[in-house]
Structure 1
Amino acid sequence: MPAAQPAYRWIPGHGPDPAALRRLRESAPLPRKPMGEAWFMGGERLMYTGLLQPDPQSWSKRELENALEALTSGPRCFDHSDEWSEWFDYLLPRVLERTDDQHSFELLVTAVFVHCLDPVLPGRTPQFRRDLLDTLGRRLMAPSCWNPAQADGLLRPIASGFYKINPGGAISAACCLVLRYLDAALIDGWIESVLAIDDASWRCAFVVWLAGAAVVVHDGAQPESMGNPPHLEIGWNGHWLLDGSIPSRNLDRDAPQFAFFGPTQRQALLASLKRRLDLATLLRWGEALTGMSIAECDRATTLWQYDDAVLIVLERYDLA
């Protein structure tokens, strides 16, 4: 019998695991050839030669983001390429080692969804799945996200805009990553840890995320076509590229399509929420909004945003 996997939890201050990062880095050596752009016209293709430098801190931010966009959008529009796959494996741990990785986090998560299209991860070792979750999946728990003196801007549960609660961006990308690839048996422990994070803005953002994610969890929508109203918007950088197929089904109607969340993960999520979340808790969390630093002119809209999310979560997740 295979050994049981250790529990998977989100705990503020416990960011990417260094040992897991090291394993991902050691399993993906530098490709022999530079990666090139996905979209070009004419005979000369731009190559991202700067990424051949061994120190990730020396990479140009613009060149790195252009490369991530290419290896993320390329397979969807032009089908699989070994070049993009090799560079995805190489860049994954090294981007997380950069001091400014928050600028690439959402797109890096999207790249995972593209290059690991089948949630079962055929051809990948079980260790890869766990290392992925213990590194990229735990980036939001890094100390810099939770210490106001260090805040690196990645985690923004309360943001600017008409609706102040922000469940999209990095929060949505991270939640979707874990729910898609975490073993179903470990989801209850993960949800328990998520709900235990004692931060009012985080809790409200997670409730609004649940409301926005209902179309994916219950209705089988893909991230590219969630169609949520603005106050339940849970998109992140690159989510519009994800229709569950490679190449896009807009290009090949016969391309096999994978559900974004597997049935066992969905069932485990629903069972866990039903066990751990109820109306009294949701109302108590909503009361904490009154203590947040929200301008008075925005307070009524923000309270309405949360209250509407609560009604949706109660109905769609069948909570008492």
Structure 2
Amino acid sequence: MPSTPQAYRWIPGQGPDAGALQRLRERAPRPKKPMGEAWFMGGERAMYTGLMQPDPQAWSRRELDDALDALTSGPRCFDHSDEWSEWFDFLLPRILERADDGDSYELLVTAVFVHCLDPALPGRDPRFRRDLLDTLGRRLMAPACWSDAHPDDHDRLLRPLGSGFYAIDPGHAISAACCLVLRYLDEESIDGWIASVLTIDDAAWRCAFVVWLAGAAPLLFDGQQPEHMHNPTYLDIGWDGHWLLDGSIPSRTLDPNAPQFAFFGDAQRQALLASLQQRLDLATMLRWGEALAECPIPECDRTTTLWQYDAAVLVVIERYDLS
């Protein structure tokens, strides 16, 4: 008989799993040849030779950024390349081991969507999916993201409240992480994940998740791809590189006949709906809004931010058919 999937939870303080990170490393040894740039015209192609150094901490930040951008944007415009796929697998766990991994997080998630275009992950080791979710998928749960010991020690990757006109920020790393988990988590585990997300006792986090749900509705219910999201500013859930994702490789703007995959599978969508309809309602979201009013929001942005949350609640009630 098939085994029951292990429960998947988001729990503050329980970040990337060391064992899963090690398995990702072991599956992807360093490629024999350096990776080259995606965008060049004539002359000699630039190669990222510095990434051949065995210690990821010694890699140049600029060279790493350029390589990650190339292997993420390259397939969209130039089709699949084994070179980029090998380097994606190699860089994924090693970026997560760097002290400055938060600088790459959003684009690294986008790279996953590019190189794991088929959510079924054909040809991958059966444990790859869970190892991906237990590492990159749990990055926002790292202890430093939730520590208030000292402002300089706080991991700024997680920022549910900003200082803009609409202070609730469900985009960037939060949106990237939520999209990653919902896209690749097996449907049987989605209810447990949602239960853990809603249990996190942090007013800013809860309100950001509600706004994310509202902003994600076009991806879930209207068949949109991240490239074509047209949310209003107060429901902006964009992250670095989301504009590269149209569900096909190469982009359908280059090859109209390229196979296209829905961003979220129907089974994941149905499981999410069932979980939210069981666990979330208007009364709960209104209580969360009252807690949001006590959060440290700049006075000049308070009225618009509270309106932002209320507007998102109305969208969630309607699109997810909640009571």
TM-score bracket for this pair, using the shorter chain length: over 0.9
Deviation at 1:296, TM superposition (A): 1.4
Equivalent position SS for 1:126: coil
CA distance in 2, matches of 1:279, 1:264: 25
Per mean C-alpha deviation after superposition, the further-off stretch among 165-174 and 1-10 is 1-10
In structure 1, the partner of 2:108 is 108
In structure 1, the partner of 2:120 is 120
Deviation at 1:295, TM superposition (A): 1.5
Task: Give, as a single letter, the amino acid of the residue that structure 2 aligns with 1:175.
Answer: C
Residue 256 (str. 1) matches residue 255 (str. 2): no
CA distance in 2, matches of 1:98, 1:115: 21
TM-score (normalised: structure 1): 0.99
Residue 166 (str. 1) matches residue 169 (str. 2): yes
In structure 2, the partner of 1:152 is 155
CA distance in 1, matches of 2:320, 2:3: 32
Number of aligned residues: 320
CA distance in 2, matches of 1:160, 1:296: 10
Q: What fraction of aligned residue pairs are identical, expressed as a percent?
A: 77
One of 274, 279, 290 as aligned partner of 2:277: 274
CA distance in 2, matches of 1:125, 1:48: 28
CA distance in 2, matches of 1:234, 1:156: 13
CA distance in 2, matches of 1:298, 1:72: 35
Q: Give structure 2 stretches of 5+ with no counterpart.
A: none
Structure 1 stretches of 4+ with a deviation exceeding 2 A read none
Task: Give, as a single letter, the amino acid of the residue that structure 1 aligns with 2:187.
Answer: A
Residue 224 (str. 1) matches residue 235 (str. 2): no
RMSD of aligned Cα (Å): 0.6
> Contact between 2:5 and 2:188, CA under 8 Å: does it hold in 1?
no
> Contact between 2:164 and 2:301, CA under 8 Å: does it hold in 1?
no
> Contact between 2:163 and 2:297, CA under 8 Å: does it hold in 1?
no
Deviation at 1:218, TM superposition (A): 0.5
CA distance in 2, matches of 1:79, 1:96: 26
Residue 52 (str. 1) matches residue 28 (str. 2): no
In structure 2, the partner of 1:235 is 238
Deviation at 1:216, TM superposition (A): 0.3
CA distance in 2, matches of 1:23, 1:258: 27
The 5 Å alignment of 1:1-320 reads: 1-148=1-148, 149=150, 150-320=153-323
Deviation at 1:3, TM superposition (A): 2.0
CA distance in 1, matches of 2:163, 2:302: 12
Q: Give structure 1 stretches of 5+ with no counterpart.
A: none
Deviation at 1:196, TM superposition (A): 0.2
Task: Give, as a single letter, the amino acid of the residue that structure 1 aligns with 2:242.
Answer: H
**Can you list the C-alpha shifts for 1:97-131, whole angstroms capped at 9, x where unaligned?**
00000000000000000000000000012200000
